[in-house]
Amino acid sequence: MIGITVLGATGSIGISTLDVLSQHQDRYQVLALTANTQVDKMLALVHQHQPKYVVMADPDAAEKLELSLRSAALSVVILSGVAGLEQVSALDEVTVVMAAIVGGAGLLPTLAAVKAGKRVLLANKEALVMSGSVLMNAAQESGAVLLPVDSEHNAIFQCLPEHYADGLAHVGVKRLLLTASGGPLRNLSASELYEVTPDQACAHPNWVMGRKISVDSASMMNKGLEVIEACWLFNTSVDTIKVVIHPQSVIHSMVEYVDGSILAQLGSPDMRTPIAHALAWPERITAGVKPLNLFDVARLDFEPPDLGRFPCLRLACEAAKQGGTATTILNAANEVAVAAFLEGTIRFTHLPKIIEQTLEAVSSTGAQTLAEILSADELARQAATRYITTVD
């Protein structure tokens, strides 16, 4: 049996992961589940999957869960806080860690899993965006295997030859074509974007996601973060990555080769496909996904991104080229700004303004140590919080 820790078990990726695991109970054992504050959802998951460990990042939520489990006579070790998250990420009996905690909160437990040499299924793109050099160096030292779960990066991974880590040019790769649906606001004018509500931004046409990542998709910041993540995962530069708007979300990404060939990975827009692929790689297992019917799809459209209406993608690419802690600052500012937008404090069009002001205000430094990264993250959050009160 392969032992699994699911970080972020109550989120959309976590739920999809548990659905795939439930189809292969003869092969996988859920040893640990984690969440932030959603006690009721976690309680239901504990009854269903019976893990040995449960971590609630919020201590009060951990206490509530412990009381509920005690009354239900379930024997589970309850942990809390970052220390608890790191502990279940590095358990000896755990082989695979699904890293699906959203945002910077996922960095430390993901890093703990990498340092422990686990197979890490990376759904938390912010961990690489914040600390790519630290995470990749730790993986090299420990022998951890990082497998991408984001549908776009997983698609690229499936389309690359075996020895791509030696350098894309050495295996005949010309560039990576990173597809994007364009989100729910793709066809709105600049004036219409100003009036967008959180509910509109979260109404993704193809994917079921949490509210933070849904706003990122609507602003195109999600694609910018994915560009940065791709640079680290595939040891390449921003200049070799091209973003392609593909509204149908059927082609999940492509790899273009120097001989003119383009390899694409297609499938229904269902996260269980990349999750199952990463879980079983290099084997294949069933995922419960509805087969793609090309006759129903009928057509595939492509267009370039509009950086004028969606400047977050431009800001992300510029931060990637700058290097160092610039991407850490970008990510922190975006998280603060998105939270403010979801609370109704700022407009949708204020997001890139706050991010750009923060990038200008906080100096980028080297990103070789965790201390440097965490310091830049904190400074950026403070700056972004200030700019929220003055943005117009």
CA angle 182, 186, 192 (to 5 degrees): 150
Please state, in angstroms and rounded to a whole number, the distance separating the CA atoms of residues 139 and 185.
38
Say how many residues make up the chain. 392
The pair phi, psi for residue 147, each rounded to 5°, is -120, 130
Please state, in angstroms and rounded to a whole number, the distance separating the CA atoms of residues 253 and 153.
7
What is the pLDDT, as a whole number, of residue 374?
A: 93
Residue linked to tokens 């994915």: 226
Tell me the pLDDT of the chain (392 aa) as tens digits: 999 999 999 999 999 999 999 999 999 999 999 999 999 999 999 999 999 999 999 999 999 999 888 877 778 999 999 999 999 999 999 999 999 998 888 999 999 999 999 999 999 888 899 999 999 999 999 999 999 999 999 999 999 998 898 899 999 999 999 999 998 899 999 889 999 999 999 987 776 677 888 999 999 999 999 999 999 999 999 999 999 999 999 999 999 999 999 999 999 999 999 999 999 999 999 999 999 999 999 999 999 999 999 999 999 999 999 999 999 999 999 999 999 999 999 999 999 999 999 999 999 998 889 999 999 999 999 999 999 988 87
What is the pLDDT, as a whole number, of residue 103?
A: 85
What is the pLDDT, as a whole number, of residue 344?
A: 93
Helix, strand, coil % (nearest 5) of the chain? Answer: 50, 15, 35
E strand spans, 45-108: 53-56, 77-80, 96-99
What is the pLDDT, as a whole number, of residue 207?
A: 66
Q: Give the domains, in start order, of the chain with CATH numbers.
A: 2-148 (3.40.50.720), 155-268+293-297 (no CATH), 323-388 (1.10.1740.10)
Residue linked to tokens 């040995």: 52
DSSP track, 189-208: -HHHHHT--HHHHT--SS--
Cβ partners under 8 Å of residue 61, min gap 6: 35, 36, 37, 38, 39, 80
Determine the distance from the C-alpha atom of residue 111 to the mean position of all C-alpha atoms in its chain, rounded to a whole number: 14
- Contact (Cβ atoms closer than 8 angstroms) between residue 182 and residue 206: no
Buried b (16+ CB within 10 A) or exposed e, 289-321: beeeeeeeeeeeeeeebeeebbbbbbbbbbbbe
Please state, in angstroms and rounded to a whole number, the distance separating the CA atoms of residues 362 and 333.
10
Please state, in angstroms and rounded to a whole number, the distance separating the CA atoms of residues 278 and 281.
5
Determine the distance from the C-alpha atom of residue 21 to the mean position of all C-alpha atoms in its chain, rounded to a whole number: 20
What is the pLDDT, as a whole number, of residue 204?
A: 76
